[in-house]
Structure 1
Amino acid sequence: NYVMLELGQPNHVFDLDTIPNGHLRVRRATEGEAMVTLDGAERTLISLDGVIANGSDEAISLAGVMGGHDTEVTDSTTSVLLEMAWWDPPSISRTIKRHNLPSEASTRFRRGADWGENIDRAMDRFCELIAQTGATIAPGQIDVPGTTPQQGHSTARVSKMNSLLGTDMTAEEMVGHLSSIGFTTTAAGDDLTVTVPSWRWDALGGNAHEFESSIAEEIGRLYGYEDIPKTVPRGEETGHLTDYQKNRRAVREALLGMGCDETLPMPFLGPEDLSLVGLPDDGVRLTNPLDANESVLRTSLLPGQLKAIAYNQSHRNPSVRFFETGQVFLPPREGELLPDEREYLAVALEGAEAPEAVSVLNTLARVLALPNVKLFNVDDLPGMHPGRAAEVVIAGKARGVVGEVAPSVLRSFEVSGRVAWLQLDLGEILRGPHGKRNYRPVSKFPSSDMDLAFVVADDVGADKVRNTIAKSAGELLVDLRLVDAYRGAGLPEDSRSLAFALRLQAADRTLTDAEITATRDAVIAAVAKTNNGTLRA
């Protein structure tokens, strides 16, 4: 036991007089074979157990686990036979578990003892110690080589081990760590040729990948796991938002930022609701509605929003600002059976005029980077105020309406005051061209503001005047807003005043009075020529 603890090599001593002719052999047990171990228990063996047998082929020791009772050293023993071996770790492990016989020696064999020079060293040490007690050592020894691990050269990649550990060590650093624990290692480029010492059976590995993992573990232990930077592995993305969903969320956040509240009316309308807003009564009718007063699928979001406004007015909650994204159900396309289902966006601003709805449209156009947004005045838009409504055209396609709701429609839904309205085919807009933004640097120079009011005919749309101003002001114009529309005293009949706020700013200089005046004169001249407008005094 002393030698085992000192050098790590288990051994067993037999009473030589109990072994006929001193002959030993090693074999597997036969199925059902029995023997009595040192603890006095009779063991029934199986063919997986290893045993040491005497010359008569009788099992006298459970190999690597426990000696036999019949060959035990006693007080009357005068001659002993010393046995040292290397036993197959998996076999020892199975025998320990099956017989429930853990011991200091068997645990060392199970983990893998040294199969190299350590056995000779331990044998010499045993003899040295026992000779000091006066014992005589018989000359010679019997050495029978068995099937031991092959101590060959294996290759491990530096890049692979760094990948496993999460480090960036060089080949020289790895060689230094391995050499410190007896691994003979040479480096050639990204490859390390490693020879595992005979006392490290556990580091051999079964194949190239296992060997690299085993060597990486040794290097990591010596490098210091606490010194390896901690990283959180990135999990697999099980799902993500589509561009369509991201843009729809961006629209919602923009409207919430403008002080609007989201509403979710039911998609069902009364039989007369569509005609009350001036739309064709061609909605899909339900054959089994829950409520006969809600038996038609909506083709517009306008009736539902007006009902919401009327409800809030009846409960003394004025000046509401609502928006909704929801499905509408248009008549089936030619050759199709099901309705043409689309996603619309609607914004209803109680107590507001058309320019405020246009301002919301401009904000959404900036959020989505919509190309070439234009407004065309149309007098017969269903449910809209003649002269205060326009068709929204984006990239040459009609995508909605903006303006004010007609007073007659408001009266039909018992809504008082004005309601600014914006309705867009959100699905088609998000599937169409958008998102290509042209960024310009933020100027560090001061800006200059001016207000210009033009008197134009009623049939001249505010958007046309706005486009004229934007084109004539050129690159110095950084912001343009319609701030007021006026009809009444002091203006010619069939005309109105449109007031715009302009902001001028240069990216590389402070604008001079001459530049500002020149831009102002160019805008006034362009509106007079293009829109037949005059500057209001």
Structure 2
Amino acid sequence: MKISYDWLRTLIPTDKPAAEIGALLTGSGLEVESIEELESVPGGLRGLVLGTVLTREKHPDADKLSLTTVDVGDATPRQIVCGAPNVAAGQRVVVALEGAMLYPTGGEPFKIKKSKIRGAASEGMICAEDEIGLGQSHAGIMVLDTDLPNGTPAADYFGLGSDAVFEIGLTPNRADAASHYGVARELRALLRQPCHLPDVSGFRAPAEATVNVKVTLEDPAAAPRYAGLLLENVRVAPSPEWLQRRLRSIGLAPINNVVDVTNFVLHELGQPLHAFDADQLAGHHIRVKRAEIGEKFITLDGVERTLRADDLVIADGSGQPLALAGVFGGQTSGVSDQTTRVFLESAYFAPAVVRKTAQTHQLKTDASFRFERGTDPNMVPLALKRAALLLQEVAGATVAAPVVDEYPEPIEPTLVRLRLSRVEKLVGQFIEPARIRQILTDLDILITEEIMNSESGILNSEETTQPAEEGANSVIQNSESLIQNSAPTEWVLAVPPHKVDVTREADVIEEILRIYGYNNVALRPHNSASFLARFPNPDPEIIRQNVARLLSGQGFSEIITNSITNSRYFETEDAPDAGLVHLLNFNSAELNVLRPSLLPSGLEVVRHNVNRRQRDLKLYEFGKTYRQLPGGGHEEQNQLVIYLTGNTAAETWQQKSAKSSFHQLAGAVQQVLAALGFPEPASRPVEHPYLAGGLTLLAQNQPVARLGAVSAAVLKRLDVSQPVWFAELDWDGLMRKYKSRLVAQELPKFPEVRRDLSLVVDRTVTFDQLRQIARRAEKKLLRQVNVFDVYEGDNLGAGKKSYSVSFLLQDATQTLTDQAIDQVMNRLIQQFEQQAGAVIRR
């Protein structure tokens, strides 16, 4: 947002440098990102002053040159060689002094230097208007008619003072500052100087009119206030220079005087206006209503738009839309060069309604920017009168009828209770109640009631336990002082509607602190707390980032896919609509449901890459799935999914490429689980509608991951031409279990010991069964069980296979002895033989 300092000073007089004002605004939360110096003419006429020609003589060595002496306010007149034919003694002229940089019209800039011209010294230059960028004439020097003293800066004479333009990074919660007057209000509190609204006391409207425009609010909730004014004898033409200069200073291009006035008032007061050609209003009637479904409307940019039932439109008496309320005007109802009668609109629209329409139709305008954040309903009539007076000045308009102002239910100020003790608690420093009162008054926040309340005020026991710092006012001391002086401890405040973000006590305290100054809150030399904080809950976002780094470090690439997808991916003959969440207003049959699984959208990414000969893929995605519950309602679930397809690595002279495998996928999943504190999850055969075999991994006896090969039917349905390995992790479930495993443990002081066994078992026995047997048999010393080889061959016998398993043993209290290790291993062998029928290969 651009704010002109020169414009701003018409609302709050101040002579402080622009840089100081920028620092004040930044300190209060209106961050000034840059300050641009803006000059009416290049160079701003710096180094140019007014002077008087004292004498004029012919140059002895040049017929067309004159020798002059000029008084420029110095003790000694200056000799200047001049080539203008009209120079004469007694003239008031513009003199460029030595060192001045001149920017001539249509020429290159040049610097004035002390020089000799045909042997005569020249200490400056008497200027023509084209030589200093003020015009095109070069017939002679400018001769001025002025009583200003010699030495007066030429910029002051021509009224060409430079301007500074603030670029403010306006945050969404500061809609109250989205105008020059909004920034002036902020400076009023910061500078303790009065600011004023434009004077509209000269506005006059007839008490009655033969013709006026009727206004009907058909949806007062969407348009709580709508005002309008009929103007006649309007002459549409280019705006005067002052108005064009104001708009150009903030980056707006002038259009015509009517449109320029509405833009001027918008940026001056923050109240959007719209001008209709009154002769285009059927029945002299304005209807503020919801659009008809499918209704066509051509906006000012020439685009035909299809309206929806929740779009708010300004329509005429026939119901024909004239504008999208608060967003954009229509092509047929706008002001043109032939317009002579104008109906001016000034309104307050509900922010949510404007925001939805602007988002739906992808229209972002200066008006929608303000309406969707919240404007001031009390500014509506004043902005209308301000625009009318300006149109009288620049377009010759006359007010033809009384102001129409439909405001069925006035918007009242927001009532907020403020505890003075709470101010100190949140700010961290005692602020005198008189200073708080002053700040609130400067911010237009009224104190409507003062309460002596020892329970909710400073006597709150929770807020009086901190001992006083030496040399500082403690909460207890302040409380006693307020009680002795019978001061109120709680105020009821009326917050004006233009402060849309101030609705709670904390919001009011933030306003107080902004104006009091963050830099004025002193840091105490000894900060302390009366309790020890609990171990903080883990931040799910940081955990997600750590897991993402882990996968990216293994060569996986993160993808982000659309939550809206095609219902045909999930509908089968057995379950044509199994828990799908359908969209009510979808634009395409291919994007009509919220995804119940991330797999199809991920397979679309795989297909896109494979079709472009990028076949070796390692992908992962964090995303949400959605399903409709049988009893009604909906459920969202966060998941992490992993995809593997193609080769694990490119073929080189050192190694041949190998196909991605289930074990590679399982290794990646197990590393993620280990990073979350689940190093050895149990497993069972997978049950998943999209997988053809695989495993379900369990943590604390609950399934947390399912992985395996995507079934051929699913790959065919998604037109994927190569096998894909897929893992689906229940991220929400893992986060819940992760918190319960946050237990700090001392690092072991004694070494771990490894022992290996080779077990021959039936082919149906899984490694997970062997691991569970080992865990049950030894709970104290066994730290890890791992399989490092699996063998099946004829020499083992039919239906048999061999597992080579390693065991890590460790005692946290002492070094393990051979006797203790042998006891554990013998116990494990015994249990393997009894429970799994294992034969130990020695």
TM-score range, shorter chain: 0.3 to 0.5
User: Which one has a larger percent helix, Structure 1 or Structure 2?
Assistant: 1
In the superposition, the TM-score normalised over structure 1's length comes to: 0.46
TM-score (norm 2): 0.31
Q: Which has the larger radius of gyration?
A: 1
